[in-house]
Structure 1
Amino acid sequence: MKEPCQYQMEQILHSAVRNITPYRKNWLIETEAGKWVVKRTRFPARLRWWLKVDQELRLRGFTAMPPIRSDGSRWIITPFIEGKTASYSRWQEVEKILQVLAQFHLVGQRLHTPPEKGAAFLLYHRLYERLIQFYRVLTKTPFLEKELGELLESHGQDFYLDGRRAWQRLQSLPLQKICHDEWFVRNITHRDLASHNWMIDEGGNPWLIDFETASYDSQLGDIWQISARILSENNWTDEWCHRVLMSYEYVRPLSPLEKKILYTLFSYPNEFFREAIGLAERKRGYEIKHSVPYLKKLIEQRENWQKQIKRISYW
């Protein structure tokens, strides 16, 4: 991880740098004007695109994301937020987060900034690709690390069949058209709504961070991703299932069709697929000691998860 150049940081921040230290796989810079988090981007073109989107969102009134300073090619610099990473098990935080996400979606509809160049990798593409990736992992179970291999040998096929059935049901719904339509009209999505991409400041206000995966796509993908993670964190209880979408819809109501597609998406075991693929392919950020216990938790939840999906079909 290459350390940022002190002189360059001073030029961007217009302040003398006192200290540079590693921070959450990035860098923390202390200056006379305060503390800053510095991240090196792997995609300069994407950074330049996001800087334009960021400016447009702020002009429209959405400010629940740290202001960005940048050299426009490598470095993303944002103010250090005094606070903590959000927890998806604390209802007071979750309620605020869902309403901020809904505001982000409302403000981020029909933007003027042109999309990035190149083919779009939309929600329905990602679902199919992940299903295929997981199938390939299943064919390699004898060659995986023992604990992961044994776990997938016992339960992997069940989750694969869950995913295939969900994908087949989605084919009868206009998800593909919705994805293309929302890309065409330029509706913004975050696409990586893990709890660590929300910060809660000392006043209890949520801040959405890390937009490296953001793109124009169906906003249903964000709603599904964050709702599934929150509900899994809280064991898919009736209370949480009832409250999660109500909080989002308080700001941005969903159409009956959107709810039907979202209900079908909930039956797709994305969390299990993502963790298993990450471990099998030795991706950055996936470790046996953390991911295997999470996979075991998802296995234990599977029966309750499927029962709950049937109960929430009234959404």
Structure 2
Amino acid sequence: MRFPTYEQMEKLLQQPVRRITEYRRNWLVQTNQQTWVAKRMQSSTKLRWLLSIDSELRSRGFTAMPPIRSDLKHWILTPWIEGKTCQYTNLHEVKKVIRVLATFHRTGRHLQTPPIKGAAFLLTHRLYDRLVQFYQILKERDTIPGEVGELLRTYGSEFYQHGLNVWEKLQSLPLDELNWREYQWHFLAHRDLASHNWLIDQAGKVWLIDFETADYDCQLSDVWQITTRILSSNGWNAQVCKQIFSTYEAIRPLNSLEKTIIYILFSFPNEFFRECIGIIKKKRGYRPENTLPYLKRIIQDQANWREFLKQLPTW
């Protein structure tokens, strides 16, 4: 990660910079008037694409993302927001972020900004890639040391079979067609709806941040991702799921195909796959002290998960 220079930041902000400090893989840039979060983008093409998307969303009335300053080459600066990250166990906060997500999806349809040239890594590609990556580490489970190796040897095959069953069920549905249609029609998805990407400021306003993963894609992938994470934090409570859907659909209704696909996706053990892959491949952000307890909680929650899945056909 390249350090932002005082000269770069002062030129960009048009004011003196007092201090620059490292902050969560990014940088805090302090001036006499304000503190900014500076993030270096690896691709200037993606940076300019995000700026165009940001401009379109604002012109359509969606302003739940911090304003951006940029040099159009490497750096994105956004104001530091005094507040806290969303707690997915707090259902009052959950409803607020779901309303913002639904508005983001409704606003981010049929945008004019062209997609970035190159291969699109869409929902169907991501599902298949995650299943394959997990299978690859599962084959090596006898050589993986420590607790994560024990968890894989004990539970890995069962979770993999769940994922494989989901993939086979999805092949009978027009998910590929839906995915490509929303890509071609420029439907925007965030694609990284971890709780730390929602900020709630001191006035109670919700902010959606960190758009580096955003792209044109199936919007239901966001709905599935955030719902799964919220349900995992709430013991797979079916009533919580109903609240999420009713809140979302009050703004952006889902059609019957989207609901069918999401209900099937609930059986895909995405969280278990992602955490195992992350810790075994030593990806950034996956530390044993955090990842192992989470994996154990996912395993302990299996009974609640199965009971939740049984209730889905009655909705």
Q: Sort the TM-score into its range (normalised by shorter chain).
A: over 0.9
Equivalent residue, structure 1, for 2:42 = 42
User: 1:103-143 deviations in whole A, cap 9, x for unaligned?
Assistant: 00000000000000101111011001100000001011123
Distance 1:239 1:222 in 2: 20
Do the aligned partners of 1:241 and 1:312 also contact (CA within 8 Å) in 2? Answer: no
- In the TM superposition, what whole-angstrom CA distance separates every residue of 1:38-84 from its partner, at most 9, and x where no partner exists? 11112221111111111111111100000111111211100000101
Q: Give the Cα separation in 2 of the matches to 1:308 and 1:43.
A: 41
Matches of 1:255 and 1:81 in 2, distance apart? 36
Q: For 1:238-257, what aligned pairs fall within 5 Å after superposition?
A: 238-257=238-257
Aligned 8 A contact 1:35 1:80 in 2: yes
Q: 2 CA distance for matches of 1:34 and 1:143?
A: 51
Structural mapping, 1:1-315, within 5 Å: 1-315=1-315
CA distance in 2, matches of 1:80, 1:235: 33
Cα distance in structure 1, aligned partners of 2:260 and 2:69? 41
CA distance in 1, matches of 2:233, 2:43: 32
What secondary structure is seen at the aligned counterpart in 2 of 1:116?
coil
TM-score for the superposition, normalised by structure 2: 0.98
Runs of 4+ with >3 A deviation:
none
* AA aligned opposite 2:154: S
- Structure 1 letter corresponding to 2:53: V
Letter in 1 for 2:252: R
Residue identity in the other structure for 1:213:
T
Structure 1 SS opposite 2:301: helix
Shift of 1:314: 4.2
Structure 1 counterpart SS, 2:12: helix
Tell me whether 105-114 or 234-243 shows the greater mean CA deviation. Answer: 234-243
Distance in 2, Cα, partners of 1:69 & 1:10: 12
Aligned counterparts of 1:145 and 1:99: Cα–Cα separation in 2:
43
SS in 2 for 1:293: helix
Partners of 2:219 and 2:239 in 1: how far apart?
Answer: 24
Give the whole-Å Cα distance in 2 for the aligned partners of 1:306 and 1:257. 22
Distance, in Å, in 2 between the alignment partners of 1:258 and 1:238 is 18
Q: TM-score, normalised by structure 1?
A: 0.98
* Structure 1 residue 21 displacement after superposition: 1.2
**Is the 1:41–1:74 contact (alpha carbons within 8 Å) kept by the matching residues of 2?**
yes
CA contact (8 A) 1:40 1:76 kept: yes
Letter in structure 1 aligned against 2:112: H
Q: Calculate the aligned-residue CA RMSD, in Å.
A: 1.0
Q: What is the total number of aligned residue pairs between the two structures?
A: 315
- Structure 2: stretches of 5+ with no match in the other structure: none
Please list every run of 5 or more consecutive structure 1 residues that lacks an aligned counterpart in the other structure. none
**% of aligned pairs identical?**
53
Q: Deviations over 1:147-166 (max 9, x none)?
A: 11011000000000000001
